[in-house]
Structure 1
Amino acid sequence: MDPPAEGAPPRSPPTSPRVDVRSRRWTVASFWAILLLGVPLWWRTTTLERQPLPEARILDWTERWSERIPLETAPSRQRSAELDSRVVKFSPHYKLIFSLLNQDSASGSAVLDWNAHELLKRYIRPLLSSLSPLHNFTIETHVQYFAPLTVAVNKEDEREGSYVREDDLRAFVNNADWNLATGDTLDPVLQFLLYVPSAENRPMRIRSVGGQDITPAFITPQRGGVVIFNPDSSAPEAPPSVSLDLPSSALAASFRLFEHQLRTLLGVPSLPSAPNSGRLAPAQLDRLVRQRLHEAVADTVETLGATVKLSRDIPNMRISREVQGRVNTALDELDRAATTFSSSPSLALAHAARAQSLASTAYYDPSMLALLYFPDEHKYAVYTPLFGPVAVPLLVALLKEVREWRRERKRRREEREREGRLVVQGEEADEKRAKVD
């Protein structure tokens, strides 16, 4: 800036533009209002939902369930039922798949067709009809033309055919190559496999640990059963792609074995006076209902207890209203099962099955794992860099406005005091003049 000319009046310093204090404070207040309204909304949307679970009711069932629904069987039979690891877990619905597997149909003399409908109707349907108060069954049948084995097939010089050691039966079912599809279902699936060895391996036997030949059939625990079918050696050999013409009676023994395996897998008790095949005796059905009811209640109580323990051990796990509702409804169904147990065990089993399904659905609810690995510390670490740069200018502006407000308030107070003093001095001067006059 050029200096003022000599003799010219001094220039006044430039004045800063007038600040509209009222507008500035309204702007700062608006930003803070948005922030104060947004933070509770953000906190609400990011806060983990944890509905309370009825722990007292679950604890009561955990401690007293065996008293409320006792198992009325002999202790030895009860222990044998509990120790049989082959029995599949109780479910109101099962899917049964019967498959005909040829080791190698290209070598000829294969079984390419079977009258599965007639065989199931004669040997399996009567048992399923007896079990209708407990379970609903869906049945499928399949035929495969090539099912290679992964276990060693041993030969003997002095005997025709081959054998498989009993120790190798756990790897007999070749899940990788046999394509044992279970279909689109969430129900437990039981696979029953009729395995036809190739012509060079017939008859195929199962050799026990002691060296004796045993029945060519075995059970895969909780999954199904396998029967090795060796066609009659007197049957004429058929070329590849031509099925052995076998009557249904040739497969009768195999389906009787399937029926026995199904009984074992479903935990059907054996009684001296009860038939070993076909429909169940009333005493068998009643004992099976009570046994399955006992298992369903025990599994439900264990699942509910595990849900409570999981919610305690993982404080960052979400517990939604849906999970809370399923747990409460499962407990209500258990109460109904206990109420109807003495008058109708079958109805009690229906309530227990629903409780079991609800408890399992609650325990495996996918929403419970949504924020399992996102605790509050991670939340602060993620959002602090976002809100920090915004909060600092707002805080500085707020402090500045508070300081200006306090300074202005002090100035106004001093002005009022000065005006008050002037008024007092004026009144005193007036009084003195009055006295002089």
Structure 2
Amino acid sequence: MTTINGDQASPKASAATKSSTARVPPPETSEAVQTRFRVIAAFWAVIVLLGFPIWWKTTSIYRAHLPIQEMVDWDEGKICRPVFPLEIHVAAPAMQISESQHLLRTTQHSLDDFNEFAAHHLRLKLANDTSASNANGDQTAETEHEAAEERADIALTVRVLPQDDLTAPRSEIHADATQLDVFYPPNQVPLPSSSNPPLSAFIAQELQGLYSEEKATIAHILSGETAGSDSESISRRLRRSMKYADTYHLSFSLFTPGPVPSSWDIEAAVKEYLTPLLDAFAPISNFTVDTQVQLYATFSPMAPPPVYDEAETAWTLKKEDLSAFINAAEWPLNPSIGSGPTLNFVLYVPAPSQSPMLVKENRASSWIVPQWGGVSLLNPPLSEELSPSNPKHLTQESLRPAFMTFSHQLLTLLGTPATPSSLPLRLQTLIRVRAATLLLSASSTMGSLARLTESLPSIPIPATVASSVSTTLTHLGTTCSSLRDGRFAAALASARVAETEAERSFFEKSMVGQVYFPDEHKVAVYLPLLGPIGVPLIVGLLKEVKRLIAGRKARAGA
């Protein structure tokens, strides 16, 4: 074994030490250290003083101030509880003032005893005789018209008139006016000592009957429950009717499986049979009308064909097959025209070989498709030729039955109540129902918007949304006060504005788009850009901080 002593190893160790010492870089000069420090400080100064403020300014989300608590209070019904005081004028020209006042008081007491829904109540007031007022001349009528505009809407005028040949009171409602005539025997004039005269009880009962459906409908809208025994009919009517819209589009279509009829007097028919009804609806909604004719419109191959019934001597359609009658795949029925919903009215003229065509169960020639439109079958009389055929042209008079049906279907689809028989009274009821519906809908939208902005703090709230919310709340307050004062037409006008502005604020495009851009997406966008730049800057900053700390410790130790 050979042993290497220290004298022999020392030259090699010296060489290794010299080699490692030669590889160590020379120490930095103070000028280089200061230059590196200034470069890193300059980068961070640009980031902190310029880059970060610009990024914050350009990426910050503007959130306009919203009255959150007020919006929630409207949604919860704490600010407004809708009431519907109906002002009814009672005119008794044949009675003395004291007798008519006593009749008014006792009738009002009877109405208050009958009423179980406090939000809807009838208020009776004495009125002058209409015929006597008109007899005073045009100037008096004009003065009364101006005064009527300043007070609450007159829901109904009750004329109490004596009639000699009666043994008990009777009533008669005017089909084209808001007037109820009550005829009574002259010996039934209320005595001052009577607390519940028969005439007062009769008038109160008639008024309750006139507004029973309206009261049940409003109770259903406000609380979700209907009052009385008409709950099933009220729910069915509300399910069939369209959702309220400011504008509806009416589409009238003529379909026939053959080449005729190829034309119809639709313009004259619309002007004669439909325009007066649309004008009456002007305070509630607006309408546009378009028409079309479609020849060779065959049934859908999937729909059951009509079956000839020898007992009825007619081609019949089963009630359960009516939903498949419309050939939506081939018939050009546009489901939506413009911004408002479309109501389709189809006039179908069967082929001569399948005429007349009826519904088997009730022998009807028309039916309603809920929330869509209506269908009417026109079975014109065939000629006595050997080869009978349908007429080439449908005149205005031949279209009259179909358009009377369309008018009734339109009233049903728009939610008009079935009673009373007076159309102006039914339209007044629809005004009150729509005002209540829009008031609750706009209030609910405000609550939903408030909860949305609170739960998603990252979405922007532009100034247009704040403006729409302010307008909505203002018109909601106006609607509530107008309802309280009995000015229902003004209440509906304000409610329409409130609903429009509420929908505009809730469906603001910038807000909706931001909902689908969560914070995780922002991180995914920023990391690829800031990673390569941020890591060297952070590492350089840490090294400088360590150097400064080490230098301070060295100076402190010295």
State if a TM-score over 0.5 links the two structures.
Answer: yes
Superposed displacement of residue 175, structure 1: 2.0
- The answer on 1:384 being equivalent to 2:534 is no
**Paired-residue identity, %:** 34
Amino acid aligned to 1:269: P
1:93 is aligned to 2:235:
no
Choose which of 334, 355, 380 in structure 2 pairs with 1:181. 334
**Is 1:363 the counterpart of 2:528 in the alignment?**
no
**Cα distance between partner residues in 2 of 1:288 and 1:169:** 29
The 1:76–1:379 alpha-carbon spacing in structure 2 relative to 1, beyond 3 Å, is closer
- Residues 281-300 of structure 1, C-alpha deviations (whole Å, 9 max, x = no match): 2x333222111111111221
Query: Residues 246, 154 of structure 1: CA spacing in aligned structure 2 closer, same or farther, 3 A cutoff?
Result: closer
Unpaired runs of 5+ in structure 1? 1-10, 275-279, 418-437
Aligned to 2:37: 25
Which of the residues 368, 376, 385 maps onto 1:227?
376
- Do 1:97 and 1:141's aligned partners in 2 also have CA atoms closer than 8 Å? yes
One-letter amino acid matched to 1:68: P
Q: 1:168 to 1:65 in 2, by over 3 A?
A: farther
The Cα of 1:52 is off from its aligned counterpart by: 5.2
1:42 aligns with 2:192: no
The residue aligned with 2:540 is 397
Q: Secondary structure at the match of 2:329?
A: helix
Q: Secondary structure at the match of 1:97?
A: strand
Aligned length: 389
**Alpha-carbon spacing, 1:387–1:245, altered in 2? closer, same or farther (3 Å):** closer
Pick closer, same or farther for the CA change 1:375–1:40 going to 2, 3 Å. farther
CA contact (8 A) 2:336 2:342 kept: no
Alpha-carbon distance between aligned partners in 1 of 2:52 and 2:386, rounded to the nearest angstrom: 83
Structure 2: which amino acid aligns with 1:395?
I
Deviations 1:321-376 (A, max 9, x none): 33333223211111121233325321221110111112122222332332334333
237 and 378 in structure 1: CA distance in 2 versus 1, 3 angstrom threshold: farther
Residue pairs, 1:272-421, within 5 angstroms: 272-274=420-422, 280-281=423-424, 283-314=425-456, 317-341=459-483, 342=485, 344-406=487-549
User: Of 386, 400, 404, which aligns to 1:256?
Assistant: 404
Within the candidate set 347, 350, 356, 1:197 is matched to 350
Partners of 2:284 and 2:306 lie apart in 1 by 43
Which has the bigger relative contact order, CA under 8 A and spacing at least 6? 1
Deviations 1:47-75 (A, max 9, x none): 55555543322232232476234463533
SS in 1 for 2:347: strand
Structure 1 CA distance for aligned equivalents of residues 242 and 25 of structure 2: 94
Change (3 A) 1:125 1:323: same
Change (3 A) 1:188 1:165: same
Q: 1:174 to 1:45 in 2, by over 3 A?
A: farther
Q: Return the alpha-carbon distance in structure 2 between the equivalents of residues 39 and 237 of structure 1.
A: 92
Contact in 1 for aligned 2:309/2:316 (Cα 8 Å): no
TM-score calculated relative to the size of structure 1: 0.78
- Aligned partner of residue 232 in structure 1, secondary structure: coil
Secondary structure of the equivalent of 1:398?
helix
Q: CA deviation at 1:22?
A: 4.0
Q: Does 1:129 align with 2:279?
A: yes
**In 2 relative to 1, CA 177–247 (structure 1 residues): closer, same or farther, beyond 3 Å?**
same
Between stretches 125-134 and 363-372, larger displacement belongs to 363-372
1:302 deviates by 2.2
- Given that residues 193 and 226 in structure 1 are in contact (C-alpha distance below 8 angstroms), is that contact kept between their aligned partners in structure 2? yes
Amino acid at match of 2:342: V
Structure 2: which amino acid aligns with 1:338? C
Conserved? CA contact 1:65–1:297, under 8 Å: no
Q: Give the number of the structure whose alpha-carbon radius of gyration is greater.
A: 1
- Aligned CA-pair RMSD: 3.2
Aligned with 1:140: secondary structure? strand
Separation (CA, whole Å) in 1 of partners of 2:522 and 2:418: 60
